[in-house]
Amino acid sequence: MEDIELMHSLGVNSYRFSIAWTRILPRGRFGDVNPDGVAFYNAIIDALWQKGIQPFVTIFHYDIPHELDERYGGWLSPEIQKDFGYFAEVCFKMFGDRVKFWTTINEPNLLTKFSYMDGWYPPCRCSKPFGNCAFGNSSIEPYIVAHNMILSHANAVSIYRNNYQGKQGGQIGITVSARWYEPFRNTTVDLLAVQRAISFNAPWFLDPIILGDYPPEMRQMLGANLPNFTSKEKRKLQATKLDFIGLNHYTTVYLKDCIFSPCAVDPIDGDARVVSLAERDGVLIGEPTGTPYFYDVPHGMEKVMLKQAITAWPPMTSLTMQEEFIISVATSLFWPRQ
């Protein structure tokens, strides 16, 4: 409550936070709703509204009930789609009268890599060359997990659209991490490396949701390791379009190709057979920030937004229209906060 008072004193008019799955459903759909967890978030949401602060709520930010991992392997199993839908519906029922902006999943493109490719986050699964975990397969599991996340997102959106959006009047979308990349050298291989890395980043999740399938660069690179959507799943994705796209943009980096040149393993972009670098010819790509590996590269934000605008609105062929869209979004979302 002290934090909410501080936000109010600063003139903050919106606050984004996540709901811990384990606080609401400690055993997933195999147990009861925890009234103490519901009361905790009710108190936060009510206090925000009392101070004129709009809550932006993320349903899933990396934590799942341990029982789901023990019963069927968590995100590695299609069963998670049922549990995620159940959890989302409990949130809509309990909080949807006051929450008007829902994010289904935060940065699924990072969670899949950090948990199932690098083994950094629970359940800490990976394999060489990305890591040396006791269990896991870095070449296959991240894409199975991503597939289940995309379909879980679609399930939650479908539940909201069909049962709650009309009477609650809210919006629902997804938030992805969106890096930007510049070629290390102006060569064909590095330019292609940039295109691959972009495809393995935000479009990995946004393309199926918006266009119905994974980027062609991923299909070409991964082959049978990349799951396929059934006709029924594609229809569901097409029927559950986004009301908004959330973009978390941290930095821009240089990229080198690793198909035709030997490279060290890149823990974030290595699945696209590239390596990221912050420096070229002794000059950093941007001013350093307080966080290692993040650099101040303003044009990266602009290019990320333009890329997603082109993906989200394929019929929008006029560059002028795209630029107007970017300017309007940037004006409303970013510049006032600066």
Residue 271 contacts residue 214 (beta carbons within 8 Å): no
pLDDT at 337 over 80: no
Tell me the per-residue pLDDT of 175-218, one tens digit each, with 9 for 90 and over. 999 999 999 999 999 999 999 999 999 999 999 999 999 999 99
Q: Alpha-carbon distance 40 to 56, whole Å?
A: 16
Residue 279 contacts residue 288 (beta carbons within 8 Å): no
Return the structure tokens found at 66.
Answer: 């341990």
What's at 33, amino acid-wise? Answer: V
What domains can be seen in the chain, in order of their start residue? 1-181+230-251+293-327 (3.20.20.80)
What's the number of CA atoms in the CB half-sphere (13 Å) around residue 273? Answer: 18
* 162-193 CB burial, b ≥16 within 10 A, e <16: eebbeebebebbbbbbbbbbbbbeeeebbebb
Residue 284 contacts residue 294 (beta carbons within 8 Å): no
What's at 250, amino acid-wise? Answer: Y
What's at 4, amino acid-wise? Answer: I
Return the structure tokens found at 216.
Answer: 């062609």
Q: What's the predicted TM-score (pTM) here?
A: 0.91
Report CA Rg, the chain: 20
Tell me the per-residue pLDDT of 54-77, one tens digit each, with 9 for 90 and over. 999 999 999 999 999 999 999 999
